């Protein structure tokens, strides 16, 4: 497979995964903002998903309508759903002959939907959940179509490598920023709506209720989001999948490149796998998360250097 094609598939997939993450975050935070007695702050969301400066984020943090506008269709926001879907489509467009026609149409339709003027209107004047839901569904259609139609070859492996690396980064980010609100003092958080919304934003609420019967506790939330191998948004699940799909790229012709990245993934995988919620608290949650995130970024850079670079 051409390096350029692998690169485009990988980024198309990362952008689609990010789109899904952003939309879910927006939906749940919006719901949360309607529930809040005190003024709801969008600052954690803005910090994870945009590159806004501190004061610009502060200015926007309490205006729900403006945040939705900025995050979904803001042309000036490089990480808005509009811009990310456009990037996913540009990448998909340049590799149309490597994805199935159904996948391409799915991304292309998404692009045309997000660009409709009507969308800007309904986002402002009608129930935002309806709008966000319809966009999330468009993304799910892509994931389903990919799963059902895409041949299980090298292309599919790059798509999944991109998807799970993006998801791993997102899940660490979500914890990192959410807990920075409380200065990483896990025992200080007592408000259960906070946990509920955090878990709901990554579809982990019901699983939490089934796993832990004794109510909300910060350490258990951390445990689920980092260490639960069955939770599809957990850090460890994402790493397992990343490793699984990367292993399929093994090829006689580039053993050195493969072994290098395989080692990097294996290392962060062991570190997470053999942690417990106690050991993480002991190490310091923030430290643990930023070290893990650093490993993910290094894996991304190495993929770029060893698999995608034109050399």
Partner 1 sequence: MQTSELMQSYLVDANTWDEMSTDATVREHYKNAVEFLEKLSIDDLNKREEFAKRLFMSQGVTFTVYSSGEGIEKIFPFDIIPRIITSSEWDTIEKGIKQRLKALNLFLKDIYTNQFIIKDGVIPADMIYSCPHYLREMHNFPIPYDIYVHISGIDLIRDFDGTFYILEDNLRTPSGVSYMLENREITKRIFPYLLPQSNVRSVTEYPTILHRNLVSLSPRQINNPTVVLLTPGIYNSAYFEHTTLARLMGVELVEGSDLVVDNHKVFMKTTSGLQQVDVIYRRVDDEFLDPLMFNPASKLGVAGIMSAYRKGNVAIVNAVGNGVADDKAIYTFVPAMIRYYLNEEPLLKNVPTYQLGKDEEREHVFKNIDKMVIKKTNESGGYGMLMGSAATEEEIDIYKKEVCADPRQFIAQPIISLSSAPCYMAGKLQPRRVDLRPYALCGPSGIEIVPGGLTRVALKEGSLVVNSSQGGGSKDTWVLGPSSGGF
Residues at the contact surface with partner 1, assessed by CB under 8 A: 1-6, 90, 93-94, 96-97, 101, 104-105, 108-109, 112, 154, 249, 251, 253-254, 307-308, 310-311
Smallest separation (angstroms) from partner 1 to the CB of 120: 15
- Cβ 10 vs Cβ 32: under 8 Å: no
Closest approach of partner 1 to the CB of residue 157, in Å: 10
Of residues 116 and 130, the one with the C-beta less far from partner 1: 116
Length of the chain: 311
SS3 233: coil
Q: Alpha-carbon distance 119 to 84, whole Å?
A: 16
C-alpha count within 13 angstroms, C-beta hemisphere, residue 211: 18
Q: Which is nearer to partner 1, 92 or 128 (CB)?
A: 92
H/E element, 297: helix 285-303
Task: Compute the least distance from the CB of residue 94 to partner 1, in Å.
Answer: 5
**Complex with partner 1: residue 3 or 69, whichever CB lies closer:** 3
Tell me the closest approach of the beta carbon of residue 238 to partner 1, in angstroms. Answer: 22
- Give whichever of 100 and 182 is closer to partner 1, judged by the CB atom: 100
Q: Three-state DSSP class for 250?
A: coil
Distances (CA, A) of 1 to 97, 103, 205, 249, 304: 12, 19, 40, 11, 15
Least separation in angstroms between residue 301's CB and partner 1 is: 16
**Pick 85 or 199: Cβ nearer partner 1:** 85
């Amino acid at each position: 497979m051409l390096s350029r094609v692998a690169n485009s598939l990988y980024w198309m997939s990362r952008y689609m995964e990010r789109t899904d993450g952003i939309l879910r975050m927006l939906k749940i935070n919006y719901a949360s903002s309607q529930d809040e007695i005190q003024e709801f702050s969008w600052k954690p969301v803005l910090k994870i998903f945009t590159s806004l400066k501190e004061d610009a984020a502060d200015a926007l943090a309490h205006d729900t309508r403006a945040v939705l506008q900025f995050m979904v269709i803001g042309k000036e926001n490089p990480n808005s759903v509009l811009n990310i879907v456009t990037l996913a489509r540009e990448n998909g467009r340049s590799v149309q002959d490597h994805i199935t026609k159904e996948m391409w149409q799915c991304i292309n339709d998404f692009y045309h939907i997000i660009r409709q003027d009507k969308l800007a209107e309904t986002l402002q004047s009608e129930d935002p959940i309806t709008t966000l839901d319809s966009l999330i569904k468009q993304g799910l259609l892509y994931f389903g179509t990919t799963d059902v139609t895409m041949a299980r070859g090298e292309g599919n492996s790059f798509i999944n490598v991109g998807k799970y690396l993006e998801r791993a980064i997102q899940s660490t980010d979500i914890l990192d920023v959410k807990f920075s609100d409380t200065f990483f003092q896990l025992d200080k958080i007592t408000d259960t709506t906070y946990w509920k919304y955090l878990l709901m934003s990554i579809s982990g609420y019901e699983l939490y209720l089934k796993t832990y019967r004794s109510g909300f506790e910060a350490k258990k939330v951390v445990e689920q989001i980092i260490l639960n191998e069955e939770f599809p948004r957990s850090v460890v699940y994402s790493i397992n999948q990343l490793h699984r799909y990367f292993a399929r790229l093994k090829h006689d012709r580039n053993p050195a490149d493969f072994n290098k990245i395989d080692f990097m993934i294996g290392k962060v995988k062991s570190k997470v796998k053999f942690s417990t919620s106690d050991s993480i608290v002991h190490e310091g949650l923030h430290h643990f998360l930023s070290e893990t995130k650093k490993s993910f970024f290094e894996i991304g850079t190495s993929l770029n250097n060893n698999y995608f670079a034109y050399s």
